[in-house]
């Protein structure tokens, strides 16, 4: 088999330590009644471990030049299917229905750092019947996703992830466990998808519009954030009166608000 040349455009850093895939498989929560979607199997070191615990593993790989490695693994494991597509271009609900019907669904991935956020948001917003997502991300990203309101790492993606799921850091992975070796360490996290969310906004689109606006201008006060967001439909005095009525200070900054706070604010302004 010819030596595979890693591609910078896909951010490829392949796991080389056999212990890490075993730990990820053990922690993901799947069993023999489960189907696993693996995103970015690479050379299949994690795929093989997932196949040992699940009914079926459906691995989605964008790089067709990895076929020689993955074909070999597929031939040796009858419960592995490989699909060569971009996960972001797949209708995930149709994919599950076709590939993994009548199974509890788990997602596992060692994601390239540059694509972590788009894939996470895509999976969470798809409303697909997924039980949990276990992924390896850059350590800094894990810190951001697990951060609390008012901290410097708290962001729109933090709020979105915590709206859709219960997140937990599992373990750190040193950079030496990869080839080529990245400049930073990684962390494996688990997102348990919430079937019953902690908040139920009347208008989810409005709530996330406000959240996005707040974190794009995070040093502004909430009043100024909302004034910009509503683009003149309300004057600052009207917004200030509402914010005070809801129990917030006129100096409150949006970056200090919890998902529950954002829901309360969005519900009040719904219909404007």
Dig out the tokens for 103 from the structure.
């199974």
- 59-73 burial string, b = 16+ CB within 10 Å, else e? bbbbbeebeebbeeb
For residue 198, the tally of other CB atoms under 10 A from its CB is 12
For residue 108, the cross-strand partners are 38, 134
For residue 102, the cross-strand partners are none
The CA distance from 10 to 100, in Å, is 26
Per-residue pLDDT of the chain (272 residues; tens, 9 = 90+): 445 444 444 456 788 888 999 999 999 999 999 999 999 999 999 999 999 999 999 999 999 999 999 999 999 999 999 999 999 999 999 999 999 999 999 999 987 778 899 999 999 999 999 999 999 999 999 999 999 999 999 999 999 999 999 999 999 999 898 888 888 899 999 999 999 999 999 999 999 999 999 999 998 999 999 999 999 899 999 999 999 999 999 999 999 999 999 999 999 999 87
Question: What integer pLDDT is reported at residue 9 of this predicted model?
Answer: 46
Q: Which of 164, 176, 81, 84 is nearest to 126 (CA)?
A: 164
Question: What integer pLDDT is reported at residue 6 of this predicted model?
Answer: 47
Which pTM was predicted?
0.90
Q: CB of 40 within 8 A of CB of 61?
A: yes
Give span(s): CATH 1.10.8, the chain.
204-269
Question: What integer pLDDT is reported at residue 12 of this predicted model?
Answer: 61
Is 8-193 in CATH node 3.40.50.150? yes
CATH code, 204-269: 1.10.8
Tell me whether residue 271 is exposed, middle or buried, using C-beta atoms within 10 angstroms of its C-beta: 0 to 12, 13 to 18, 19 or more. exposed
The CA distance from 143 to 78, in Å, is 38
Q: CB of 214 within 8 A of CB of 254?
A: yes
CA atoms within 13 A on the CB side of 170: 22
Give span(s): CATH 3.40.50.150, the chain.
8-193
């Amino acid at each position: 088999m010819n030596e595979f040349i890693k591609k910078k455009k896909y951010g490829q850093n392949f796991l080389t330590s056999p212990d890490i895939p075993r730990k990820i498989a053990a922690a993901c929560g799947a069993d023999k009644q489960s189907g696993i979607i693996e995103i970015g199997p690479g050379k299949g070191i994690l795929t093989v471990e997932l196949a040992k615990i699940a009914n079926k593993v459906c691995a989605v790989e964008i790089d067709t030049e990895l076929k020689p490695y993955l074909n070999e693994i597929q031939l040796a494991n009858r419960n592995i299917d490989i699909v060569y597509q971009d996960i972001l271009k797949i209708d995930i609900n149709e994919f599950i229905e076709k590939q993994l019907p009548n199974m509890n669904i788990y997602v596992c991935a060692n994601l390239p750092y540059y694509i972590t956020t788009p894939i996470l948001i895509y999976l969470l917003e798809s409303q697909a019947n997924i039980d949990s997502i276990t992924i390896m991300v850059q350590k800094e990203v894990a810190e951001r996703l697990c951060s609390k309101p008012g901290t410097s790492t708290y962001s729109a993606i933090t709020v979105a992830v915590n709206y859709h799921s219960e997140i937990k850091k599992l373990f750190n992975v040193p950079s030496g466990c990869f080839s080529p070796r990245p400049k930073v360490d990684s962390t494996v996290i688990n997102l348990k998808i919430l079937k019953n969310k902690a908040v139920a906004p009347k208008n989810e689109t409005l709530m996330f519009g406000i959240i996005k606006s707040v974190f794009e201008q995070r040093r502004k006060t909430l009043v100024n954030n909302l004034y910009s967001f509503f683009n003149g439909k309300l004057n600052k005095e009207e917004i200030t009166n509402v914010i005070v009525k809801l129990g917030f200070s006129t100096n409150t900054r949006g970056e200090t608000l919890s998902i529950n706070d954002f829901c309360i604010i969005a519900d009040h302004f719904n219909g404007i």
